[in-house]
Amino acid sequence: MTWEELENECKNCKKCELSATRTNCVFGCGNRNADLMFVGEAPGENEDMTGVPFVGRAGKLFDQYLAAVGIERGDVYIANMLKCRPPKNRDPKPEEQDLCIGYLREQVRLIRPKLIVCLGRISAMRLIDPDFRITKQHGQWVKRGQFEMCAVYHPSLLLRDPRRKPEMLTDMKSVKAKLDGLKGEAAE
């Protein structure tokens, strides 16, 4: 499938009830040749309105972490587990995730990133381990097939619990170090 076909299919998707209440499908954004991909949970209100992931309050905080560790937002790819906003930002239902995950898989197949970083518990439980404990396992890298994966706190959690911000900075520095390490590997 090409990017165009995938994006078209996603934007016209009616597989679950979230399609009835969306303003925009939030497909994903960034560099389609990225080494690093971030996967969040689901669009919120601002994302639903603009069609772009991580542009609301949580997104602005996430941008600050990218800037703090020297990662350009335009160099990475950012997507969500769900492409449509759940009403009142409730947690995505398992059946919604089941119906939507094919789009994410196809995005990963097209991008072929080397690093996948889950933003928060929901995507970590789906993509790394169903028993993932974000408070214990954040920042720990695991190898899954050809990908290196880890999860960091979701920026919305940091807005609710700012005491966790130092851990997030440490984890994001480790993401940047992994990314820089890839450049070394390519030069070898």
Q: Please report, as ranges, the residues that interact with ligand URA according to CB under 6 A.
A: 40-44, 47, 53-54, 56, 58-59, 80, 119, 156
CB of 46 to ligand URA, least distance (A): 7
Which residue type, as a one-letter code, is found at position 84?
Answer: C
CB of 2 to ligand URA, least distance (A): 24
CB of 42 to ligand URA, least distance (A): 6
Instruction: Considering the complex, state which of residue 29 and residue 182 has its C-beta at the smaller distance from ligand URA.
Output: 29
CB of 155 to ligand URA, least distance (A): 7
d(CA 129, CA 99): 19
Structure-block tokens of residue 89: 């930002």
Instruction: Considering the complex, state which of residue 86 and residue 113 has its C-beta at the smaller distance from ligand URA.
Output: 86
Sign of the dihedral defined by the CA atoms of residues 85, 91, 93, 99, in that order? positive
Q: Please give the C-alpha separations between residue 123 and each of 27, 48, 53, 72, 91, in angstroms, as whole numbers.
A: 16, 19, 14, 22, 11
Instruction: Considering the complex, state which of residue 25 and residue 115 has its C-beta at the smaller distance from ligand URA.
Output: 25
Instruction: Considering the complex, state which of residue 43 and residue 113 has its C-beta at the smaller distance from ligand URA.
Output: 43
Give the strands of the sheet with 147-152, arranged side by side. 29-30, 77-80, 36-40, 115-119, 147-152, 142-144
Instruction: Considering the complex, state which of residue 22 and residue 182 has its C-beta at the smaller distance from ligand URA.
Output: 22
Q: What is the DSSP letter of 52?
A: -
CB of 43 to ligand URA, least distance (A): 5
